[in-house]
Amino acid sequence: MTRKQRPIVRRAVPEQYHVLAQALPPLAARICASRGITRLDELQHTLDRLPPFTQLRGIDAATGLLAHALEQGQRILVVGDFDADGATSTALALRALRMMGAEQVDFLVPNRFEYGYGLTPEIVAVAAGRAPDLIVTVDNGISSLDGVAAARARGIKVLVTDHHLPAAELPAADAIVNPNQPGDTFPSKVLAGVGVIFYVMLALRSRLRDDNWFERRGIAEPNLAQLLDLVALGTVADVVPLDQVNRILVAQGLARMRSGNLSPGLLALLEVAGRQAARLVAADLGFALGPRLNAAGRMDDMSIGIRCLLSESMATARPLAQTLEQLNQERRGVEDEMKEQALAELHRMHLQESAELPLGLCLYDPAWHQGVVGILASRIKDRLHRPVIVFTDSGGGEIKGSARSVPGLHIRDALDAVAARHPGLLEKFGGHAMAAGLTLRQEALEPFRQAFDVEVKRQLGAQPPAHELLSDGELTAQEAVLEQAEALRFLTPWGQGFPEPLFDGVFDIVQQRIVGEKHVKLLLRWAGDTTTVDAIAFHADLTQWQGGSGRVRLAYRLDVNEYRDRKTVQLVVEYMEAMVN
């Protein structure tokens, strides 16, 4: 919710609608066509529609390293990242390698508060204590030039698997698999880290099959589809765009989870999150499971989350999932406090009006929690609709920032441009189009603030982009029924770059009340109709909700409310504005 009115713009319906309408209900055809679907087969989420692993640059060298390590019984150490994508990538690599006969495989994930991100020389020194023959990075490594060099100087081979954007120079690893590296022909450039390592494991299984490895060792050839629950979770939690490849991976993972084919660790996470496997959709992965897994890396040590995902029994998984739940509750408390402090700082700066705010906004507090600055940046970005970087102290005279962007500004490229124009200003940085991380010397904050704002204005213009709500149109009371809501819920995975349907309309408020301190429960009546419908506004701006009645224009999602085994239609309100009588 926001106090400031936002334009609601209805999506155009392209001509492809008529092709899709031959096999889909009219509303579903309209929604899919407006999201770029031009053929019916783009909605078929079978694994045989995935592009082959042979299109990934470096895949032969990668499988050669892994196959040699298995043949020689070498020690393999997987070095992961401390977010949900890194955790699922790490767990998938270990489970797949063990399924294929690896006997000496372990993992190491940097603690963000000690070592920071990636394969640093410091992490290599820690890893060397385990005497690995091969280090495999997952969800990191493409920017780890010094770390890879340090590992190879110790005689340790390195396989980098990553999806982040590379810099001009690549690390001197023994093999690199990253769809974004120069010369790669893989059609999807938005695989999550877990998607990349899944593809590497598919290629390794194929190579081992051709070498008669499974027959020679008396090992059953593994069904790697068992790991798609991890792929789905990591993909959605990392908020990568759901192009057709990622929609297939997520749809397949969700299908397995709904049928009960999921690991004990994920089942335990579902229990603490209060979700039922049979009703799972992508949003549950992003808003229920992902944050609980991420809480380990944000508040403590991601190895807790990885051990949960690697659990072989519910007896082992449940206590770890409970720990993750407690860490997530702690994370929420810290995040709420930090958000209040940040908004209070904006108030003190008299920068509430968008015309006064820097277009590229940097906030800093030395006391803010390193593990939560990314979430805070996202919340402030959503409220103010401009790129936001939140900084906090990281020790040794350095500050670390987490950046979140808006459509139209590639945040990693913007940081690259600042670094090019101001050599030495940034210590290091990396990331994606919509999210990035960076490190500065403390004394560089003010000049960076100015340089970042200048670069954002150079790319976006003097004013922030319009904070539009894209609507799929208006529904009548006769269209907003349970069957329609159920059909849209399971039509396809919805998420980043392929958003869940959003509708708009005018309603009369019949009743409203605050529930759970932050949410507003409503009974609405369609304007010009006697039909009523339940609605809820989660995490509402309570200054808008003063009780009573009135006519409002809403942007909402059509949802299914399940209570005591009874299903009813419910509108989930994303935006409200009062109608002038």
Both tokens of 281, joined, read 């959709």
DSSP 8-class letter at 271: H
Residue 186: is its pLDDT beyond 50? Answer: yes
Q: For 34-47, what is each residue's pLDDT tens digit?
A: 999 989 999 999 99
> What is the reported pLDDT for 516?
80
Find the mean pLDDT for residues 565-569: 91
| Distance, CA of 53 to CA of 260 (rounded, Å) | 28
Per residue in 300-319, pLDDT tens? 788 999 999 999 999 999 99
CB atoms < 10 A from the CB of 121, how many? 15
Q: Is the pLDDT of residue 353 over 70?
A: no
Residue 228: pLDDT band with limits 50, 70, 90: very high
pLDDT number for residue 350: 56
Q: What is the pLDDT of residue 388?
A: 95
Q: How far lies 32's CA from each of 11, 223, 290, 494, in Å?
A: 11, 32, 26, 11
- At 405-435, the pLDDT tens digits run 998 899 989 999 999 999 999 998 888 788 8
Per-residue pLDDT band at 108 (split at 50, 70, 90): very high
pLDDT digits (tens, 9 = 90+) for 503-530: 999 999 999 988 887 889 999 999 988 9
**Reported confidence tier of residue 578, pLDDT bands at 50, 70, 90:** confident
Span 254-259, average pLDDT: 97
pLDDT for 357 equals: 81
H helix or E strand, kind and range, residue 430: strand 428-431
Reduce the DSSP state of residue 363 to 3 states and report it: strand
Q: What is the pLDDT of residue 150?
A: 97
Three-class SS of 453-508: HHHHHHHHCCCCCCCCEEECCCCCCCCCCHHHHHHHHCCCCCECCECCCCEEEEEE
Tell me what the mean pLDDT of segment 169-180 comes to. Answer: 97
Determine contact, residues 432/412, Cβ cutoff 8 Å: yes
- Whether 548 shows a pLDDT value over 70: the answer reads no
Sign of torsion over alpha carbons 344, 434, 443, 150: positive
- Which segments of 100-158 does DSSP mark as H helices, in order? 121-128, 145-153
CB atoms near residue 185 (< 10 Å): 10
Residues contacting 163, CB < 8 A, separation 6+: 139, 178, 179, 180, 190, 191, 192, 193, 195, 196, 240
User: Does pLDDT of 117 surpass 80?
Assistant: no
Asked whether 228 and 246 are in contact (CB, 8 A), the reply is: no
* Contact criterion met (CB below 8 Å) for 320 and 265: yes
Asked if the model's pLDDT at residue 168 lies above 90, the reply is no
Has residue 480 got a pLDDT over 70?
Answer: yes
- State the burial class of residue 171 (Cβ atoms within 10 Å of its Cβ: 0-12, 13-18, 19+): buried
In the chain, what percentage of residues exceed pLDDT 70?
Answer: 95
Q: Which of 198, 205, 256, 239 is nearest to 51 (CA)?
A: 198
Starting from the edge strand earliest in sequence, which strands make up the sheet with 157-161, in order? 105-108, 76-79, 134-138, 157-161, 175-177
Q: Looking at residue 1, what is its pLDDT?
A: 36
Segment 453-471, tens digit of pLDDT: 999 999 998 777 778 899 9
Mean pLDDT along residues 22-28: 92
Q: Is the pLDDT of residue 98 over 90?
A: yes
Neighbours of 286 (CB within 10 A): 20
Give the CA-trace dihedral at 89, 398, 152, 170, to 10 degrees. Answer: 70
Parallel, antiparallel, or unpaired for β 157-161 and 134-138?
A: parallel
Mean pLDDT of the chain: 91
Residue 563's pLDDT is what? 82
DSSP of 169-195, one letter per residue? S----SEEE-TTSTT---S-S---HHH
Q: Which band of pLDDT confidence, cut at 50, 70 and 90, is reported for residue 111?
A: confident
- Position 3 pLDDT exceeds 50: no
What domains, with CATH codes, occur in the chain? 55-325 (3.90.1640.30), 349-460 (3.10.310.30), 469-578 (2.40.50.460)
Euclidean distance between CA atoms 535 and 29, whole angstroms: 25
Percentage of the residues of the chain whose pLDDT score is greater than 90: 73
Inform me whether the pLDDT recorded for 560 exceeds 90. Answer: yes
Residue 351 has pLDDT above 70, yes or no: no
Q: What are the pLDDT digits (tens) for 367-404?
A: 888 888 888 898 889 888 899 999 999 888 999 999 99
Count of CB atoms situated within 10 Å of the CB of 415? 24
Ranges of H-type helices in 349-477: 373-384, 411-421, 445-460
Q: Does the pLDDT of residue 75 top 70, yes or no?
A: yes
Residue 517: predicted pLDDT: 74
Whole-prediction pTM: 0.89
- pLDDT band at residue 543, thresholds of 50, 70 and 90? low
Model confidence at 204, pLDDT cuts 50, 70, 90, reads very high
At position 150, the amino acid (one-letter code) is A
Half-sphere exposure at residue 491, Cβ-oriented, CA atoms within 13 angstroms? 25
